């Protein structure tokens, strides 16, 4: 039985934590009795399937700073490998939304129906708490723009690492809800080129290219580029764009170096430009009788550097630095907002391994700045120097304990300590992980409602406190032969969360929520491999609540499905092709300030994917949303009257693009 969540007092939190530790201890005690037998079984398993074991051992994660094999990490890191990424590229080659949306516990939530902007929610937590990194660097800013998610092509991704729960101990204020680290592909020993051309039945086109090659004396490099285009689509013919129009180009060169003494270096540069248009179509109006076009022009430049140099025989000096500048010109009807985001980051850390203990310590400084020429009252500059340390100690071959902490001196919100403790127990094919962490988030005006409406009706921020959170999880996994299973229990409590509340018919303000947000849930994953066929099923339960705006009692957290599930089956043969089927269920969601309904409808999404190899070419076709589920079949996106915060649309709780087919070709030359 799952007890409805409620805010915990300090004593209640301690009691809950003690109870969790007791449960973990009971699990470890009961499992350890069969550890020796399980170890023998594991050895038999490895003897029977050495190739599979060797393949698993090669998965090394970067997001935890220790660069260890994923199975050795006390913090659970979910990794999407290149094979899984390639499958998602065929479905949506223009951005990483599809890569992330079909990962259990992650939800890509549309924040601006007019432009299609979206963010990433982790285990029911708001998307602004998710830190998006590229090779461990904040190349998309301290708080990634919602359109940033839709401007990152997955072409050159080698793997995606997902850390769920408070990770402020690793990455500071922007990682209160979790971290998603996009790891780039590393060049091989031979020249490799790849070209992808794609078109959709909604009149969208994509062209992406990837080139990598070894160079001289330990150097290698890669170059990725893309052109993407989409025309405006008004599927229900109400004059409002259900799919925004855009034209975008991206370019990213990377340079890699490996020295003979073990030193490595990595340099990346990136450039993106996009024009996006939505809102009312030319000649059409909203219910007040006036046109309301929306748009956003984006120009982004970024650069990043990662260097690792051995120091003696047991330590490595790690240096990381990045800079990002992003200019926007927003249009909300007659209001034009011209703004700029800047993020600068530098970090120096020393890591090593002494006996059974792996350790990391260092210091970092991050500066996030925002400037709005139309509404300068919202300008801010956050400078945050921080000290961090992490240690992982292997008590035995089966048990590892880890602790990390970070002390940040925030320029506006003062000193903040973010701890995290984790434990890993691996008796044979079983894996048990437990984790608890605390973190904080520095408020900005960029909540979901502002992404859709702009700042024109928002009162200047005043008296907001830092948002605080604590998360805990217990994870039990089993991996033996063709079967992989995992069950996770998770919980979070947030304090001083912010939300928009109206102060008049055309004004709103951002306020601290008194009472906190509470989330409890579970994730289940089952994967079975039979030769060339892989079947995966998943289920996520989330029970999340927050104080009601009226101040009386609590309500379900809006746009958070209590139940969601998925089934995916893929057959793949090297140099022949692949066939895939997927089915996803999204349960009912509570809705906030929706004039048409207080609760969404549940829905299913079905998809089919086919790819065939013809020489160096691969032809593919993908059908999404076969049941043609579309929110505007049930209610309009447009409100009958404009909301006090400026929004003309309701929140998106179901697909808006309906049934869509895309098809294209991938051309590959060279490589290993």
CA gap 139, 500 in Å, rounded: 28
The mean pLDDT of 322-346, rounded to a whole number, is 96
Instruction: Report whether pLDDT(324) > 60.
Output: yes
Split at pLDDT 50, 70, 90, the class of 672 is low
Contacts of 367 (CB under 8 A, 6+ apart): 342, 343, 344, 345, 381, 382, 383, 384
CA gap 322, 133 in Å, rounded: 11
CA gap 193, 473 in Å, rounded: 42
Q: How far is CA 97 from CA 41, 118, 142, in A?
A: 40, 8, 19
Task: Lowest mean pLDDT of 65-74, 229-238, 453-462, 535-544, name the range.
Answer: 65-74
Split at pLDDT 50, 70, 90, the class of 59 is confident
Q: How far is CA 148 from CA 14, 96, 269, in A?
A: 39, 10, 16
Instruction: Report whether pLDDT(216) > 90.
Output: no
Residue that the structure tokens 């995606």 belong to: 160
Instruction: Report whether pLDDT(487) > 90.
Output: yes
Instruction: Report whether pLDDT(366) > 50.
Output: yes
Q: How far is CA 305 from CA 88, 138, 348, in A?
A: 28, 11, 12
Instruction: Report whether pLDDT(42) > 50.
Output: no
Residue % of the chain over a pLDDT of 70 = 90
| Burial status of residue 163 (CB atoms within 10 A of its CB: 0-12, 13-18, 19 or more) | buried
Per-residue confidence (pLDDT) for residue 25, from 0 to 100: 39
Instruction: Report whether pLDDT(155) > 50.
Output: yes
Task: Lowest mean pLDDT of 24-38, 157-171, 282-296, 618-632, name the range.
Answer: 24-38
Task: Lowest mean pLDDT of 44-48, 443-447, 478-482, name the range.
Answer: 44-48
Instruction: Report whether pLDDT(21) > 50.
Output: no
Highest averaged pLDDT of the listed ranges 2-11, 448-457, 557-566: 557-566
CA dihedral 253, 258, 262, 266 (to 10 degrees): -10
Q: Which of 42, 39, 103 is nearest to 77 (CA)?
A: 103
Instruction: Report whether pLDDT(15) > 50.
Output: no
Per-residue confidence (pLDDT) for residue 57, from 0 to 100: 45
State both tokens at 491. Answer: 């919980």
Q: Which of 612, 606, 646 is nearest to 627 (CA)?
A: 606
Instruction: Report whether pLDDT(51) > 50.
Output: no
Please give the mean pLDDT across all residues of the chain.
Answer: 89
Q: How far is CA 509 from the centre of its chain?
A: 28
The mean pLDDT of 232-245, rounded to a whole number, is 95
The mean pLDDT of 17-39, rounded to a whole number, is 37
Q: Are 163 and 212 in contact (CB under 8 A)?
A: no
Bridge partners (DSSP) listed for residue 119? 109
Per-residue confidence (pLDDT) for residue 6, from 0 to 100: 37
Under the phi-then-psi rule, with left for phi > 0, alpha for psi from -120 to 50, and beta for the rest, what region is 116? left
Per-residue confidence (pLDDT) for residue 26, from 0 to 100: 38
CA gap 433, 493 in Å, rounded: 20
Per-residue confidence (pLDDT) for residue 58, from 0 to 100: 61
Q: Are 268 and 184 in contact (CB under 8 A)?
A: yes
Per-residue confidence (pLDDT) for residue 488, from 0 to 100: 97
Task: Outline where 92-165 has alpha helix (H).
Answer: 97-101
Q: Which of 266, 264, 265, 269 is nearest to 253 (CA)?
A: 269
Split at pLDDT 50, 70, 90, the class of 551 is confident
CA gap 164, 563 in Å, rounded: 18
DSSP summary character for residue 249: E
Highest averaged pLDDT of the listed ranges 32-36, 155-159, 276-280: 276-280
Q: Are 142 and 171 in contact (CB under 8 A)?
A: no
CA gap 548, 29 in Å, rounded: 42
CA gap 551, 51 in Å, rounded: 59
Q: How far is CA 502 from CA 222, 514, 541, 644, in A?
A: 50, 16, 31, 6
Q: Which of 299, 298, 296, 300 is nearest to 244 (CA)?
A: 296
Q: Which of 165, 205, 662 is nearest to 439 (CA)?
A: 165
Split at pLDDT 50, 70, 90, the class of 146 is low
Instruction: Report whether pLDDT(103) > 90.
Output: no
pLDDT, tens digit, 9 for 90 and up, residues 108-140: 999 889 998 888 999 999 988 999 999 999 999
Angle at 68 between CA 64 and CA 70, to 5 degrees: 85
The values of phi and psi at residue 521, to 5°, are: -170, 180
CA gap 194, 191 in Å, rounded: 10
Per-residue confidence (pLDDT) for residue 249, from 0 to 100: 97
CA gap 56, 185 in Å, rounded: 18
Q: Taking the CA atoms of 540, 541, 543 and 549 in sequence, report the sign of the dihedral they define.
A: positive
Residue that the structure tokens 């708490």 belong to: 129
Residue % of the chain over a pLDDT of 90 = 75
Instruction: Report whether pLDDT(571) > 80.
Output: yes
The mean pLDDT of 479-503, rounded to a whole number, is 95
The mean pLDDT of 258-284, rounded to a whole number, is 95
CA gap 483, 634 in Å, rounded: 41
CB atoms under 10 Å from CB of 170, counted, come to 25
Instruction: Report whether pLDDT(261) > 90.
Output: no
More confident of the two residues 648 and 61: 648
Contacts of 238 (CB under 8 A, 6+ apart): 632, 636, 637, 638
Instruction: Report whether pLDDT(41) > 70.
Output: no
Under the phi-then-psi rule, with left for phi > 0, alpha for psi from -120 to 50, and beta for the rest, what region is 124? left
Q: What residue spans define the domains of the chain? A: 10-280+293-361+375-670
Q: Does domain 10-280+293-361+375-670 have CATH number 2.40.170.20?
A: yes
pLDDT, tens digit, 9 for 90 and up, residues 436-447: 999 999 999 988
The mean pLDDT of 157-161, rounded to a whole number, is 93
Q: Are 378 and 369 in contact (CB under 8 A)?
A: no
Per-residue confidence (pLDDT) for residue 117, from 0 to 100: 86
pLDDT, tens digit, 9 for 90 and up, residues 604-641: 999 999 999 999 999 999 999 999 999 999 999 999 99
Per-residue confidence (pLDDT) for residue 145, from 0 to 100: 64
Q: Are 668 and 193 in contact (CB under 8 A)?
A: yes
CA gap 110, 127 in Å, rounded: 10
């Amino acid at each position: 039985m799952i007890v409805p969540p409620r805010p915990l007092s300090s004593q209640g939190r301690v009691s809950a934590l003690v109870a969790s530790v007791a449960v973990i201890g009971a699990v470890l005690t009961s499992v350890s009795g069969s550890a020796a037998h399980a170890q023998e079984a594991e050895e038999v398993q490895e003897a029977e399937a050495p190739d599979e074991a060797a393949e698993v051992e090669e998965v090394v994660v970067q997001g935890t700073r220790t660069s260890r094999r994923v199975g050795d990490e006390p913090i659970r890191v979910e990794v999407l490998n290149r094979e899984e990424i390639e499958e998602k590229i065929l479905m949506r080659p223009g951005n990483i939304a599809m890569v992330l949306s079909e990962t259990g516990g992650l939800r890509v939530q549309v924040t601006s129906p007019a432009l299609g902007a979206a963010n990433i929610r982790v285990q029911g937590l708001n998307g602004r708490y998710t830190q998006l990194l590229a090779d461990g660097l904040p190349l998309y800013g301290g708080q990634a723009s919602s359109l940033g998610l839709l401007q990152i092509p997955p072409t050159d991704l080698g793997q995606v690492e997902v850390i769920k729960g408070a990770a402020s101990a690793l990455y500071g204020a922007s990682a209160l809800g979790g971290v998603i680290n996009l790891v780039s592909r590393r060049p091989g020993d031979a020249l490799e080129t790849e070209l992808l051309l794609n078109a959709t039945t909604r009149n969208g086109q994509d062209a992406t290219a990837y080139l990598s090659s070894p160079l001289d004396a330990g150097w290698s490099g890669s170059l990725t580029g893309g052109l993407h285009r989409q025309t405006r689509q008004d599927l229900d013919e109400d004059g409002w764009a259900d799919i925004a129009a855009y034209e975008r180009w991206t370019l990213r060169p990377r340079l890699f170096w490996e020295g003979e003494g073990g030193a490595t270096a990595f340099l990346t540069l990136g450039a993106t430009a996009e024009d996006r248009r939505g809102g009312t179509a030319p000649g059409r109006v909203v219910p007040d009788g006036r046109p309301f076009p929306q748009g956003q022009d984006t120009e982004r430049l970024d650069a990043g550097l990662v260097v690792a140099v051995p120091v003696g025989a047991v330590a490595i000096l790690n240096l990381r630095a990045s800079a990002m500048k992003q200019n926007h010109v927003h249009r909300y009807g007659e209001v034009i907002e011209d703004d700029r985001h800047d993020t600068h980051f530098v970090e120096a850390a020393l890591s090593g391994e002494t006996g059974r203990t792996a350790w990391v310590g260092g210091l970092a400084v991050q500066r996030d700045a925002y400037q709005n020429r139309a509404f300068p009252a919202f300008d801010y500059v956050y400078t945050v120097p921080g000290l961090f340390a992490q240690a992982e100690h292997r008590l035995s071959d089966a048990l590892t304990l880890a602790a990390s902490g970070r002390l940040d001196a925030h320029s506006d919100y003062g000193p903040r300590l973010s701890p995290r403790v984790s434990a890993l127990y691996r008796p044979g094919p079983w894996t048990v992980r437990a984790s608890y962490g605390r973190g904080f988030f520095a408020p900005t005006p960029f909540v979901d409602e502002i992404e859709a409406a702009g700042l024109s009706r928002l009162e200047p921020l005043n008296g907001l406190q830092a948002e605080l959170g604590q998360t805990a999880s217990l994870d039990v996994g089993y991996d033996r032969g063709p079967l992989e299973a995992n069950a996770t229990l998770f919980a979070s409590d947030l304090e001083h969360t912010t939300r928009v509340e109206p102060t008049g018919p055309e004004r709103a303000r951002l306020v601290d929520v008194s009472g906190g947000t509470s989330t409890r849930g579970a994730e289940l994953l089952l994967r079975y491999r039979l030769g060339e066929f892989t079947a995966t099923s998943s289920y996520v339960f989330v029970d999340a609540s927050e104080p009601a705006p009226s101040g009386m009692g609590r309500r379900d957290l809006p746009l958070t499905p209590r139940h969601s599930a998925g089934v995916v089956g893929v057959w793949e043969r090297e140099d022949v092709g692949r066939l895939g089927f997927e089915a996803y269920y999204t349960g009912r969601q509570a809705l906030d300030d929706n004039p048409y309904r207080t609760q969404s409808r549940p829905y299913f999404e079905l998809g089919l994917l086919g790819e065939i190899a013809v020489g160096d070419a691969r032809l593919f076709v993908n059908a999404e949303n076969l049941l043609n589920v579309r929110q505007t079949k049930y209610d309009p996106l447009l409100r009958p009257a404009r909301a006090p915060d400026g929004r003309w649309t309701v929140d998106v709780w179901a697909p808006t693009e309906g049934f869509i087919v895309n098809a294209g070709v991938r051309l590959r030359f060279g490589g290993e």
